[in-house]
Amino acid sequence: MAAILKNHSFITFLFLFQFLSWQIHGFKTPFHPKDVLPLLPRQVSWPILNSLYSAVDIMPSFVGVASIEGNNTLEWKGACFFKNIAWLELHNKSNSQFGGGTLHIKVSNAHSWTCMDLYVFATPYRVTWDYYVLSREHTLEIKEWESQAELEYVKHKGISIFLMQAGMLGTLSALWDVLPLFSNTGWGENSNIGFLKKHMGSSFEKRPLPWVTNLTNTDDIHSGDFLAISKIRGRWGGFETLEKWVSGAYAGHSAVCLRDSEGKLWVGESGNENDKGEDVIALLPWEEWWEFELTKDDSNPHIALLPLHPDLRAKFNETAAWEYAKSMTGMPYGFHNLIFSWIDTIDGNYPSPLDANLVASVMTVWNQLQPAYAANMWNEALNKRLGTKNLSLPDVLVEVEKRGFSFAKLLAIPEQDDWVYSDGKSTSCVAFILEMYKEAGLFGELASSIQVTEFTIKDAYSLKFFENNSSRLPKWCNADDNVKLPFCQIRGKYRMELPGYNSMDLYPHMNERCPSMPPKYYRPQSC
């Protein structure tokens, strides 16, 4: 107890000292309370760090561009140094083919003697980083530009500067929060739950046992019934958590039910892992799919069955649905358009500190580390939007500048369902289902005016397609739960939430211009 009181008194002293120092004009503290937290006992420091920082602090924020045009200098306020300026100088000190340059950064007015600022610097062709602890002019030397194209780019557009707002300590703390999201452990599961509670307001209320519905009789499951899936641990759990955060969806994966001419129940799924470890579109017997989810899926999936409304079930053309599903079986998962269903606007889909500048820099990093993966994820899709072919990511960014519009505007151009990529049509898990719905006649006359590749999972389960009369739900639907959901949760320890479920009518060009900002994810009508 004495040790706790001693630590408490020390923390109180730090904050009191900081408060008093703020009252004295021009007085700089020798340290900041956050700077000395690592010196405190772990049981004291980590709870404070966790309250100050979170996983999103691992992302840098865009502060501006250091340019040579007009001898303009960039000015901003950092996390440590409150007064900063930067400018770019071109030269050829290395006598290289394209010359080089020096990025000058002058930092001053630090809020303490022990803080530091971390920065990331980027062009379409490179990404690097540096940190500063002293109030003076610092330089970042670039010995040689990669090509004439990079030289021309920095001449006209300069070098983008990103600040790690949380500083060194906060970034390390954020990294400590991010890594567990992908851990296939109880720690990882709790981290994902904590992230979604904090950033989306999810409740994760526990369900009474049993947590798995006894589905020995599947007669009440019909063609077109939607399966919403939420994974909360491991690789896919971490990925889905971030996907949910940026899109506002409370599920991260989806599949669809189909019955064949003999009445056998199947599951169509885009994103099923084949024997080669590839994520492809597959048709699986229900028993095989369900057995995998019960015994082999280590992501602790929570699964809900969303039965189609009887009126739509009557319209569902099983023959057309099967023809479409078979034509897509074995095709790769829709990586090409995965991020574009989320990004609909120039600035209304990016939770802080995300923005289009940061997206471009992340793409640049991936382009350097895994060029084939990057090309599959976005290069072809960006070329589609430009009407070009085979441009690399740097060339795409340069072309955007030549045409006089922003990369943010390029990202917001709607995906088109009829675009064919080098490996065929590209459909994510939800786009595969909605394209099947189109083929089966559920979109009616609006089919040609709606691009389902622009839909997120939230957009799909918000469609007014599903059963709205609880008395018509199967008898086994939530039978062991005292809370009656409007859909049937068939697996999971926690109750699944689907805000906006079954509430939205179809309209032309829907979901092509919708913002999605947490935590409310407000969307205007007819976006």
Cα–Cα distances (Å) from 48 to 41, 44, 200, 437, in that order, read 11, 7, 22, 50
pLDDT of 335: 87
pLDDT of 69: 63
Give the whole-angstrom CA distance, residue 467 versus residue 57.
41
Q: What is the pTM of this model?
A: 0.78
Helix (H) or strand (E) holding 347: none
Enter the CATH code of domain 186-338+424-491. 3.90.1720
pLDDT of 175: 60
> What end-to-end distance do the CA atoms of the chain give, in Å?
58
Q: What token pair was written down for 114?
A: 């022990």
Q: What token pair was written down for 394?
A: 């740097």
Give the whole-angstrom CA distance, residue 491 versus residue 486.
15
Q: What token pair was written down for 183?
A: 């851990």
Answer yes or no: are the C-beta atoms of 382 and 396 closer than 8 Å. Answer: yes
pLDDT of 358: 78
Q: Where are the domains of the chain?
A: 60-171, 186-338+424-491, 345-413
pLDDT of 30: 43
pLDDT of 111: 80
Amino acid at 512: E
pLDDT of 363: 82
The size of the chain, in residues, is 527
Give the whole-angstrom CA distance, residue 37 versus residue 186.
27
Per-residue pLDDT of the chain (527 residues; tens, 9 = 90+): 333 333 444 434 333 333 333 333 334 444 444 444 444 444 444 444 444 444 455 567 788 888 886 567 889 998 888 999 999 999 988 888 899 999 999 999 988 777 888 888 888 888 888 888 889 999 999 999 988 888 988 888 889 888 877 555 555 555 666 778 888 899 899 999 999 998 899 999 999 999 999 988 899 999 999 999 999 999 899 999 989 998 999 999 999 999 999 999 999 999 998 888 889 999 999 999 999 999 999 999 999 999 999 999 999 999 999 999 999 999 999 888 888 888 999 999 988 777 888 788 778 777 766 677 777 788 899 999 999 998 988 889 889 988 888 899 999 999 999 999 988 899 999 999 999 999 999 999 999 999 999 999 999 999 999 999 999 999 999 988 989 899 999 999 999 999 999 999 999 999 999 999 988 899 998 89
Residue 396: other Cβ atoms inside 10 A? 22
> 């599947």: which residue's tokens?
218
Which is it for strands 61-66 and 100-110: parallel, antiparallel or unpaired? unpaired
